[in-house]
Amino acid sequence: MKTLNDFNFNNKKAIVRVDFNVPLDENFNVTDTTRIDAAKPTIDKILKDGGSVVLMSHLGRPKGIEEKYSLRHILKTIEKAYNKPVKFVSDCIGEDAQGEVNKLEVGEILLLENLRFHSEEEKGDLEFAKKLANFGDIYVNDAFGTAHRAHASTTIIAQFFPNNKCFGILLAKEIESINKVLSNPEKPVTAILGGSKVSSKITVIENILDKVNHLIIGGGMAFTFVKALGGKIGNSICEDDKLELAIEILKKAKDKGVQIHLPVDVIGADSFSNEAKTEVFDVNLIPDGWQGLDAGPKSLVIFDTLLNNSKTILWNGPLGVFEMENFAKGTISLGESIAKATSNGAFSLVGGGDSVAAVKQFGLEEKMSYVSTGGGAMLEMLEGRVLPGIEAILND
């Protein structure tokens, strides 16, 4: 696996695919700089070697050229994060862009305009990729969040750099962290899968059953399993068409010697609202008119014990509706248990939009071994797929 450290960028231009698809408020201020900050080590290394950097990214889902999706809006944030001026060109291909690239001197950074202003980017167009390839001597992919897309800038471009392509520091760390869980984990391994639907996690469950010793199923998807086992779940969320599948998953897990852990109790609510009346119920005995919105206190004690006896932990998905304060305790408690296990030497990997949002919201991010920057990409890796953006670098 070729990484940044396999190259010296002295007097070289690096064309770097970053993932600067960051959230903006109504005044175009960046509200979360995580992805910009995460690319800094890669850019620092290239500049330190005596190279220059051409940055390319998408932002949002524009239909043609739309000013609100211009990367110009994030220029000041990038300059502040990297503590140096960043040049900008209002297209990502063409004469103006080529002219700015040609003028780029050692130690300088140039940001190209939004790649998705051209439909050829998402189509994986060869000619478009070739034009981008003309901007660099070495291609660096540091955009894990888009590594599962076979777009021009993430995959197709790599073929124009048969011997001069590599993973950036961030993307290499993402691959390494996921491999630490999937390929050679220290046992016992515990995975926590939460969220509302079993259907969105089926392939993940099937792929990780061979790798884990324990699987905690929480969040709304737990109720499909509870109902499948004959429990009364009241008005809790449930995928009735997946009951047989839930039984199949439980059987597969048993055959493979994997212990599945469902919540034993829940915080029930008489409506889907933070102001709802709440009560603790046995997970199998939720009355009609009530719905489970968070894991209960007994469940959290069981999960805490389990996690603190684990050496490798994967967390994808919350235990409850953590966006509502009264139903956030399960997710916070789970995060704190993982943090404690991590401080005692376990390796913990957190991925998926909601889990990442939760660890950030509750100040637990620094207490995890690794927090992934790519939701969809990480899920696809957990499903056992080879991501096109990663494969393109590995193929010579």
- Please list, in sequence order, all residues whose beta carbon lies within 8 angstroms of the beta carbon of residue 204, skipping any fewer than 6 positions away: 193, 316, 379, 382, 383
Where do we find the tokens 């990663």?
A: 390
* Domain residue extents for the chain: 4-171, 185-382
Full strand arrangement of the beta sheet holding 87-89: 87-89, 109-112, 52-56, 13-17, 138-141, 165-167
Q: Binding site, residues? A: 19-21, 35, 58-61, 116, 149, 201, 292, 323, 352-355
Instruction: State the first-to-last Cα distance of the chain, in angstroms, to the nearest integer.
Output: 11
- The pLDDT value recorded for residue 292 is 97
* Known binding positions for substrate: 19-21, 35, 58-61, 116, 149
- Name the catalytic one among 298, 340, 376, 385: 376
Catalytic residue among 353, 360, 384, 385: 353
Classify domain 185-382 at the CATH superfamily level. Phosphoglycerate kinase, N-terminal domain (3.40.50.1260)
pLDDT at position 353 is 66
CATH 3.40.50.1260 fits 4-171, yes or no: yes
| Nearest residue to 4 (alpha-carbon basis) of 171, 168, 177 | 168
What is the rounded CA–CA span in Å between residue 207 and residue 346?
Answer: 22
153, two tokens: 């800038």
Q: Which of 12, 13, 17, 35 does the annotation list as catalytic?
A: 35
Indicate if 389 belongs to the active site. Answer: no
- Residues placed in the known binding site for ATP: 201, 292, 323, 352-355
Please tell me which residue in 40, 197, 311, 360 is annotated as part of the active site: 197
Q: What are phi and psi of 174, to 5 degrees?
A: -60, -50
Catalytic-residue membership of 375:
no
Longest distance between any two alpha carbons in the chain, whole Å: 70
pLDDT (tens, 9 = 90+) of the chain, 396 residues, equals 899 999 999 999 999 999 999 999 999 999 989 899 999 999 999 999 999 999 999 999 999 999 999 999 999 999 999 999 999 999 999 999 999 999 999 999 999 999 999 999 999 999 999 999 999 999 999 999 899 999 999 999 999 999 999 999 999 999 999 999 988 899 999 999 998 888 888 888 988 999 999 999 999 999 999 999 999 999 999 999 999 999 999 999 999 999 999 999 999 999 999 999 999 999 999 999 999 999 999 999 999 999 999 999 999 999 999 999 999 999 999 999 999 999 999 999 998 768 888 998 999 999 999 998 777 788 888 888 889 999 999 986
Measured distance CA(299)–CA(284) in Å, rounded: 13
pLDDT score at 355: 87
231 included as an active-site residue: no
If we measure between CA atoms, which residue out of 151, 195, 225 comes closest to residue 351? 195
Structure confidence at residue 379 (pLDDT):
82
Can 4-171 and 185-382 be said to share one CATH topology? yes
Q: Is 35 tagged catalytic?
A: yes
| Buried-exposed string 316-342: b where 16+ CB fall within 10 A, e elsewhere | bbbbbbbebebbbbbbbbbbbbbbebb
**Helix, strand, or coil here: 2?**
coil
